Structure formats: structure tokens, C-alpha cells
């Protein structure tokens, strides 16, 4: 079964609303989690690196005030898309590094559709 | 130049065929290399790591040429279930904290 759980797997929302996506490591501690975005027929693009207990590091071109990341515990990171617009519709995927083994695991992804 | 480049395909092959994918990376300091498989609308899943000496896992063989900054994946005796997008992935930082750089992927379609 999945070792990184992402929720919700699919969400449809109206333009202007905010959406929160959770990424949870199920049986390991993850000091570092990554958030990616993938548009159709495009590669995964790293949005930000989420570090437990500290501020996330955002990639160039990613607005930190629009994509709020919180990594309050060793097993949970959340991504909130604020004031969502149709162009934010995408597949959002998180990944987490097992603190003990260094292995990287992906969540199952969240498909966001903004109407 | 993109950090990781792959031929997007699609590669359409019959069952039982041998198919090879190539990938080039731009950062000579890249340290770790992987092939991931991504099915439609799913998350990527690790297929295999790529080692300097080359490595094999069943029908899959991966090769790395650091001098040419080139990675390959060979699939022998293709199965219908091999149909997917294959992602070439590079990790640039040392240790376990580095992020992964993904290629756009090469789509493989295996036909009966």
C-alpha cells in the first residue's frame, strides 16, 4: 500500500476559493517533503521544498503567498492554493524523504480543477 | 538547454520487441540517476536507479555514461503492461536532501 498518502485525490472548486491538499507520510518521519505540479503532457515541476518546523523554500516563479505550505509535523505537509484560478488547474504531487533511510516516496497526486 | 532531455516519443512497438530510451542531462555535477515510470494520471513510481557500471533488473537494463552525460533504458521482450511514460530523473545535490529533476518523459505504447 501507499506509504505517502495525499488527500484529496480529486477536487473541483470555483474560481476565487482556496483549496488545501494534505501530504502525509504513513509509517515514517519525513523532515523534507516536496511539492510538484504537472500540467498535461508536461514534466513534473518542483514548486517548493517543505521542511518540518521551518519555512518552505519556493522555486523561482512560484508565488509563496498563493501557494501556502505548512509542514508542522514530521508526518504532514499541506499545500493551500489560495484564490484559485482556472490556470491553477493541474496535477499536484507531493513526495517525502524517509528520515531514516533516505528513500523518496511519492503521494498519489491530487487533481485540481478550478471552474 | 533543459536540465534533463528525453525524446518524447511516442514509441509504438509490438509485444516482444526491444526498445531503448535515451536521456541527456546538462549538469556535470549530477550525482544520482533514476528511471521512473508514470502511468496516465498517476504518480511516478521508481523503476530503477542507474549506476555507473550499468545495472539490470529482469527485462530492464540501465546504463550511465558520465563523460557524455547520457543515460539509457533498454526494455527487452516488451509486455502490454509496459505501456507507460518513462521519466529520466536526476538528483543534483549530495545526500538525501536533494530534489529530483524530471525529464518530460518518453511515452511507450506496446501493442498486441
Q: Which residue of A has its CA nearest to B88?
A: A43
Closest-approach residue (CA) in chain B for A111: B41
How many Å apart are CA A100 and CA A90, to the nearest integer?
31
Give me B87's grid cell. 521519466
> Looking at residues B28-44, what average pLDDT do you find?
88
Return the residue of A nearest to B8 by Cα: A41
Distance CA A31, CA A45 (A): 21
| pLDDT band, residue A2 (cuts 50/70/90) | low
Q: What is the mean pLDDT of chain B?
A: 89
What average pLDDT does range A24-33 have in this prediction?
Answer: 89
Q: Between A and B, how many residue pairs show a Cβ–Cβ distance under 8 A?
A: 40
pLDDT for position B97: 45
The C-alpha cell 482556472 sits at: A86
B105 touching chain A per CB within 8 A: yes
| Contact indicator for A45, A90 with CB cutoff of 8 Å | no
Which residue intervals of B52-102 are DSSP H helices? none
Cell numbers at residue A21, please? 491538499
Prior bond of A8 cis (ω within 30°):
yes
Q: What is the percent of chain A where pLDDT is above 70?
A: 98
Nearest CB neighbour to A43, from listed B46, B96, B103 = B103
| Span B46-55, pLDDT tens digits | 899 998 888 9
Among A15-24, A28-37, B40-49, B96-105, which is the least confidently predicted range? B96-105
pLDDT mean across residues, chain A: 90
pLDDT tops 60 at residue B9: yes
In Å, how far from its chain's centre is CA B9? 13
CB contact under 8 A, A91 and B41: yes
Amino acid at each position: 500500500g501507499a506509504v505517502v498518502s495525499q488527500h484529496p485525490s480529486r477536487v473541483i472548486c470555483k474560481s476565487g476559493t482556496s483549496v488545501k491538499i494534505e501530504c502525509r507520510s504513513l509509517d515514517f518521519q519525513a523532515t523534507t517533503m516536496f511539492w510538484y505540479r504537472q500540467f498535461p503532457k508536461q514534466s513534473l515541476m518542483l514548486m517548493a521544498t517543505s521542511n518540518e518546523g521551518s519555512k518552505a523554500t519556493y522555486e523561482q516563479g512560484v508565488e509563496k503567498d498563493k501557494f501556502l505550505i505548512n509542514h508542522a509535523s514530521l508526518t504532514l505537509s499541506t499545500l493551500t492554493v489560495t484564490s484559485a484560478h482556472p490556470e491553477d488547474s493541474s496535477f499536484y504531487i507531493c513526495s517525502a524523504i524517509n528520515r531514516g533511510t533516505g528513500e523518496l516516496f511519492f503521494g498519489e497526486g491530487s487533481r485540481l480543477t478550478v471552474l | 538547454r533543459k536540465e534533463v532531455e528525453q525524446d518524447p516519443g511516442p514509441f509504438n512497438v509490438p509485444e516482444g520487441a526491444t526498445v531503448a530510451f535515451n536521456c541527456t542531462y546538462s549538469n556535470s555535477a549530477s550525482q544520482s540517476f533514476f528511471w521512473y515510470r508514470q502511468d496516465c494520471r498517476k504518480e511516478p513510481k521508481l523503476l530503477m536507479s542507474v549506476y555507473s557500471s550499468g545495472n539490470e533488473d529482469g527485462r530492464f537494463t540501465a546504463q550511465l555514461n558520465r563523460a557524455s552525460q547520457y543515460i539509457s533504458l533498454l526494455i527487452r521482450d516488451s509486455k502490454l503492461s509496459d505501456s507507460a511514460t518513462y521519466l529520466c530523473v536526476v538528483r543534483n545535490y549530495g545526500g538525501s536532501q536533494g530534489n529530483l529533476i524530471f525529464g518530460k518523459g518518453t511515452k511507450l505504447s506496446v501493442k498486441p
